Structure formats: structure tokens, C-alpha cells
Amino acid sequence: MITVALTKGRLFKDFLKYMSENDLADYSTALEDETRSLYTIVNNVKFIFAKGPDVPTYVESGVADLGIVGSDIITENPFNILNVSQLPFGDCHFSVAALPGQESFGVIATKYTNIAKEHFKNKKQDISLIHLNGSVELAPLLGLSDGIVDIVQTGSTLKDNGLVEYEKIMDIHARLIANKRTFYTKEDEIYGFLTEIGVIE
């Protein structure tokens, strides 16, 4: 048996949609039915559900053999894992956003401080960073920051809060990650699963 760590939320919904569109009803139906559980077993594959930032930790430690996670998470923090491949879903991007008419950025609020720091460093622009765990859109509305660095998918959340995108930083995709040891010791099982779901041929 192999263990696959999944994150609930937007990426999980994209994964379910991918499974459904590729005639993998055994997986998609079982996973959809178990959205309140901490794990479920389908066809000798154990799926565990975790918060996105925790998925690489489970994979790194060997608790999970594989993980599906956004590239934002493994770009923001280093993990001792195999970054195996890009997956054909979960597309979005990082952007700098602010209220209309913002002329300069001295203070940026974000959950992704490392990515934001690197972006402005490459632009040779000095900024102060404020780390927030959620609802970063509030920061410029309340005067806490000049702008934010955040993930944008449709842009509706920014629009709903009166914010606009000023620049795109990088694309984000779903990534398949693996434990460095079990990727080889469980090679047959892992490759069988990846072939079945169409990640490799």
C-alpha cells in the first residue's frame, strides 16, 4: 500500500475534477464521499487529508509516499523531498495587489513572506513585510499595508474587496512530490498508481 497526502480546499476540488474527467470514478467518488474523514483507502492506496502547508512535511517524514501540493508551498519553504512533476490542474498565480491609485509600495502584507521578499529584492526595492495567515485583503483596506502579495485564481476576491492587480509575480501549479526513500523502495506500487491516474505513461 502507498500513502498519498492531499490538501483539502481548491486544489482538492481540482484533483477531484481531474479524476472525474479522466474516468477515474473509483477514486473521485470515494474521495468525494470521504471529505469529512482524515483518511480513506481506495484500491490499495491510502489517501490522507491535511492542510496544504503540512503536505510536504508528511511526505518529507515518510508518513506519506506521495503528495499533491501547490507549487506556492514548496517555493515558499524548502523541504527535503523529490519535486517529481507538474500536474495538469491547480493553475493560478501570485500577484502584487492594492487599492486603485497606489503609487508606491513600502509595506506589503502577505502569508508568503519569502516569495514576496525575493520578488522585491530582485526589483531592488526596499519594503517592509507584515506576515498574515489569512484575509490579507484587509491589510490595505485598514491602512496596515500599501499592498499585498497573494494567490490569485479568478480575481473575484480582489474585486469584491476593491483591490486591483498591479503585477504578476509567478505562475502556480499543482505539483506531485515524493518521499526520497520510498519513491524507490515502493517504485512498482508508485509507478502503477501514477500510470493509472495518467500522470505518467
Q: What is the DSSP string of 97-142?
A: EESTT----SEEEES-HHHHHHHHHHTT---EEEE-SS-TTHHHHT
* pLDDT-based confidence at residue 34 (cuts at 50, 70, 90): low
Is pLDDT above 60 for 201? Answer: no
With cell 526520497, the residue in question is: 180
Fold annotation for 2-90+173-196? D-Maltodextrin-Binding Protein; domain 2 (3.40.190)
Report the C-alpha gap between 56 and 194 in whole angstroms.
18
**CATH topology identical between 2-90+173-196 and 92-172:** yes
Residues 6+ apart with CB under 8 A from 155: 165
Is pLDDT above 60 for 95? Answer: yes
What mean pLDDT do residues 102-107 have? 94
What mean pLDDT do residues 52-64 have? 96
Residue 36 pLDDT: 66
* pLDDT-based confidence at residue 35 (cuts at 50, 70, 90): low
Spatial contact of 27 and 197, defined as CB atoms under 8 Å apart: yes
CA atoms within 13 A on the CB side of 8: 12
The amino acid sitting at 160 is D
Q: Which CATH number fits domain 92-172: 3.40.50.1950, 3.40.50.2000, 3.40.30.10, 3.40.190.10?
A: 3.40.190.10
Q: pTM of the entire structure? A: 0.90
What does the domain layout of the chain look like in residue ranges? 2-90+173-196, 92-172
